[in-house]
Amino acid sequence: MIRWVRILVIFLLGFGVSIFAQYALRFRSFPGTGILPEVTREATPTATIRASVETMTVKRVIDGDTIELADGQRVRYIGIDTPETVHPQKSVECFGVEAKEENRRLVEGKTVQLEKDVSETDQYGRLLRYVYVDSVMINDVLVRQGFAYAVTFPPDVKYQEQFRQAQIEARENNRGLWAGCSLGTINTPSPIPATTRSNESNKDCAIKGNISASDERIYHMPGCGSYDKTVIDETAQERWFCTEEEARAAGWRKAKNCP
């Protein structure tokens, strides 16, 4: 009888040591030492984005949606617009100074990650990018906190729905310019979701990239016979182009009824 009791005691002691060892390996310390358990961190969408973008330092902030990098290049934030402070033909607009100062607080002198959408630069030669600091998208922050509002300029529409929701949140909570400015002083257009721009000519990207019923990719120039009746559905991977070179490079051909 005593023999079986000894065997049982040895078994229980061995089991207890095993459990304790697993606990110690998981936590690498006893509770109360201030050392947190080791956690496996899965990759996030932002981490995936950051692996594919440029990393640069911001030399200075020009206004609420434009910065200058250490190498002298200027970057215009995609998908947002802020009230003007430096426009040669406009006076300083309501909440423009506040937007510039907030942008300065967020990025000036810091290392940022720059994510490209479709376009490389705008008509002024500025890089078009989504800007991140420590995995936080500054474009989104400025809209969500009421320092900017969402605008859509095809073909750069990757995060248009995210920005639209950010603006709704800012407006419903009276943040920033939505509380500090009357609508009459916000001298900017309301955002238009890209999918509703079907029969409109964007002043910078007016070429319509249509996909036919036979899956042929055809672009239509303003003045082409079928231009006005061509409807662009971006949810079906149709898109707008700024130049013919861009359309051809993306695999679209020119419509036969174009001059």
166-192 burial, b if ≥16 CB within 10 A, otherwise e?
A: bbeebeeeebbbbeebeeeebeeeebb
The CA distance from 70 to 172, in Å, is 37
**Strand extents, DSSP E, 169-238:** 207-211, 217-220
| Token digits of residue 63 | 């206004």
Identify whether 41 is a catalytic site residue. no
Identify whether 115 is a catalytic site residue. no
The CA distance from 113 to 47, in Å, is 11
Identify whether 171 is a catalytic site residue. no
DSSP 4-53: HHHHHHHHHHHHHHHHHHHHHHHHSS-TTSSPPPP-PPPP-HHHHHHTTS
- Catalytic residue (choose from 84, 98, 234, 238): 84
106, 80 Cβ separation under 8 angstroms: no
- Catalytic residue (choose from 126, 171, 175, 217): 126
Q: Active-site positions?
A: 76, 84, 126
